[in-house]
Amino acid sequence: MSGETKRADILYNIDDRPPVGKSVIFAFQHILAMFAGNVTVPLLVINIVGLNSEEGTFLIQCALLVAGVATLLQVRGIKAVGSRLPIVMGTSNAFLSTVVAITSQYGIGACLGASFIGGLFEAVLGNFIGRLKKIFNPLVSGIVVMTIGITLIPTGMKQAAGSKTAAGLGAPVNLLLSGLVILVIVLCSRSRNKTLKSASILVGIVVGYVVAAVAGLVDFSAIGQAAAFSVPMPFRYRWEFHWSAIVAMLFMYVATTVETVGDMTALTVVAQNRQPTPEESRGGILADGLGSALAAVFNAFPNTSYTQNIGVVNLTGVFSRSIVNIGAVILVAMSLFPKLSAVILCVPEPVLGGATLITFMMVFISGVSLITSVDLSSRNMLIMAVSLGIGVGFSLVPDVTKVFGESVSVCLNNGIVPASLIAIALDWFLPKDVSEAAGEEERREAQ
């Protein structure tokens, strides 16, 4: 591809196939990075609706099944659907507040019905991604990616500090566990052994898991309670359609479209020093939307590209598409054998938090690398300051947006939507210098 270069520390490029043993290890890194986020939304819904343990296990199975199938659709592709980039899909925490609000008021059926319509809406947006790509230039894309990383950091920090543990948020034992994971990742990353360096996240999580188990901090009861084999079936809940629920979902699907474009950009810039092609962007959005529509059919909540897995690629240098394919197959297998998923479900929150905190920050750094390709003129710095300030500010202080009503505030609180819309508007409104316009034209021709 014109203008494509492999980054020096990328160990396996997109078409490389590492040995089976290494591939499985690398695949499990991706699963561990996304697992907590993938089950967070169904777990919260289980608590809100008051489902029994059997129903709760069923929802988690559905989340795993759809994540695996949607990832295969994204990575392998079917005709025009799928970016064919090593992107992991899963239940999106970006929809968390929207899903909770709809489920609390109308029930699971209304949430799934709104999600299905929203998924089809995003798929339609994918057909216009060529025009949208002109809007998402390196400046806007960099701001979007930086916002994604920044707004996820509080989530990673809460996990690292053990917000849901018995010891409580910020308990010394939680900080020691997450700190141990971070330390192991750093030590592995400076190793001269390429395999150990590439598996740094997995090694960090495994070491933290073992230490926590020895210290008696792991509750293994979920493994004993899980069934040996079970197949998730579609349409378990009767769909309902409410306009307020649908409108709230559509706002979030716009955010998902923006986030997915940002994720694809971060991935290709990090690994191959290029922007995604129009075909990759369009296929990625189509897979995102159709994956979410399929999720609704199989009783799961909206799926999207996982930002933390972009951080895994950045940190480990493993850009192989076959690795993510293997990870997707493992996710499908876990959905059929609940005891397998229960093993990972038992990983303590601070252990996962230590790893996700680093990967979230790597996403932010990917956005910074995008911005460095842009002339940091006073105009561009003003756009960055206003869009990041307001977008991140809304995310960190969500009470500010209550005046706009629930449907609008859940969209603004995401941070990504206001930051991207402001960046786009200011990029259009503020005049470019002659040199900036010429440089932008040169970059477009190079791509």
**pLDDT tens-place string over residues 260-313:** 888 898 888 878 888 888 889 999 999 999 999 999 999 999 999 987 788 888
d(CA 239, CA 224): 33
pLDDT of residue 443: 57
Among 153, 156, 143, 141, which residue's Cα sits nearest to residue 391? 143
Q: Provide the greatest CA pair distance for the chain.
A: 67
pLDDT above 70: residue 245: yes
When pLDDT is cut at 50, 70 and 90, the band that residue 133 belongs to is low
| 325 confidence band (pLDDT: 50, 70, 90) | very high
pLDDT per residue over 136-165, tens digit each?
788 988 898 888 888 888 888 988 999 888
Residue 222 scores a pLDDT above 70: yes
pLDDT-based confidence at residue 53 (cuts at 50, 70, 90):
low
- Please write the tens of the pLDDT for every residue from 384-395: 999 999 999 998
Of 447 and 372, the structure prediction assigns the larger pLDDT to 372
Tell me, what's the pLDDT at 35? 78
Q: Output the six-digit token pair for 219.
A: 């509750």
> What is the average pLDDT across 223-242?
90
**Mean pLDDT in residue range 403-421:** 79
CA pair distance 225, 358, nearest whole angstrom: 32
Provide the residue count of the chain: 447
pLDDT at 48 over 50: yes
404: tokens are 């706009």
The answer to whether 164 touches 348, Cβ cutoff 8 Å, is no
Give 64-102 pLDDT, tens digit per residue.
999 999 999 999 999 999 999 999 999 877 787 678 778
pLDDT exceeds cutoff 80 at 409 = no
